[in-house]
Amino acid sequence: MQPYLAFNHYLGKRVHLGVCGSISAFKALELLRMLQGTGAHLSATLTPSAMRFVTPLSFEALGAAPVYGEMFDTRDALYGHLDPGQDADGFVIAPATANTIAKLACGLADDMLSCQTLAFPHPLVIAPAMNPRLWNAAATRENWAKLNERGHVCIEPECGAMACGEEGRGRLPQLERIYLQALRAVTRQDMAGRKVLITLGPTREPFDCVRFWSNPSTGTMGAALAVAAWLRGADVTAICGPVDLWLPEGITRVDVSTAREMFEAASDVFSEVDVACFSAAVADYRPANPSAEKFKKGQGELQVQFEANPDILKTLGTRKSQQQFLIGFAAESGQLDANCRAKLTAKKLDLIVGNDVTAQGCGFGHSTNGVTVLDAKGRMEIWPVLAKTEVAWRVWDWMLGL
Ligand code: CTP
């Protein structure tokens, strides 16, 4: 699990996992583990066809409880066919076959899983897997459209090579996509209706056509902020420097390379957002006159002239409206409090998150961070070293006044 997706805020939540008969049914075990890692309690139902591919015992051994199978299995609770609807917060069907999708669309209830889904009062999260011909069949198209219209969270299957050797759309969605949609379905939507802008990652400033000036930022902190805000219902735009990380499709992603590109992209959306959070490690300077041709060695000492990049946050801070909430980061190697205070004022911030990049477990590339947080009202806290996902969650809590 990538560190910016590893949230653990779901203790006390129950997620029910429905598994249908598909060669990809074994992946439901991995999904179960991923969801359990959040603190959520998992239970499961396997259809009779699913039990041809994986066994209830596999799910039980990994801690899912209860695990349902046959409708009239005597070991199951008498009213098991109604169960998850009574106390599960979320219901995920992965993989969902063409047959189960058809049953969901029509409201059939002839096995444990279809009864339980019909009795479940909230939107389902549905992740299909099937042969592309089954997926493209007119009946499946209609059934899928019906489930979308009903407000279920319908995750499109992916394209690629199928187990049967055919190519096309029908592969089980990447597990991270299902995992995040499952979490979002059980997360309090306390950031719903807010538009959030986040800058993240480094910038690259070209020196010639093959070299650049940059820093080791991986974008982990910004990605954790973006995903946390999206899980909590915000409408998120992430302006990403060159980073190797995936974001869920619900987040609007703008990829940029240089500080000037990041500045332009951020300026384009700034006036429309309610919250802007600048976590990018922007290069303050760029080589002047970058060459379109590769620089050749052998000319003795190399002197590079730099010119200043725009300070994105400081410039946009001057355009901030009364209603907008502005969050900045500070990467420091000393005098953390004083430098944070100075940046809070100079950049007209509502909140600043400062970290000492030389401290253990902090800064670039780590999955953890130890930060000092200060706001414009004078509140200040020093947090211990925490997962970046936890730092992100707490930053949004602070912004919401929780
Ligand atoms: N920032 C920005 N544009 C820049 C430089 C910084 O938007 N050209 C933002 C960062 O995203 C961060 C905040 O300003 O939210 C502080 O960045 P930091 O690198 O800590 O400080 P600088 O303002 O660059 O000052 P210095 O490097 O002198 O500490």
Please spell the DSSP secondary structure of 83-140, one letter per residue.
HHHHH-SEEEEEEE-HHHHHHHHHT---SHHHHHHHH--S--EEEE---HHHHHSHHH
Question: Which of 164, 240, 277, 340 is labelled catalytic?
Answer: 164
Mutate which of 343, 357, 373 for ligand 1? The one with the most ligand atoms within 8 Å of its CB, which is 343
Pick the CATH number of 3-186 from 3.40.30.10, 1.10.3720.10, 3.30.420.10, 3.40.50.1950: 3.40.50.1950
344 Cβ closer than 6 Å to some ligand 1 atom: no
Could you tell me the distance, in angstroms and rounded to a whole number, from the CA of residue 330 to the centre of ligand 1? 7
pLDDT for 75 equals 64
Instruction: Check for a shared fold between 3-186 and 195-401.
Output: yes
User: DSSP letter string over 315-366?
Assistant: HHHTT--TT-EEEEEEEESS-HHHHHHHHHHHTT-SEEEEEETTSTT-STT-
Residue 319: both structure tokens together: 């355009």
pLDDT for 73 equals 77
pLDDT for 18 equals 98
Does CATH number 3.40.50.10300 belong to domain 195-401? yes
User: Which ligand 1 atom is nearest residue 329's CA?
Assistant: 15
Residue 164 is among the residues annotated as catalytic for this protein: yes
Q: Which residues in the chain show pLDDT less than 50?
A: none
241 Cβ closer than 6 Å to some ligand 1 atom: no
pLDDT for 83 equals 87
> How do the domains of the chain map onto residue ranges?
3-186, 195-401
Ligand 1 atom 16 nearest Cα: 330
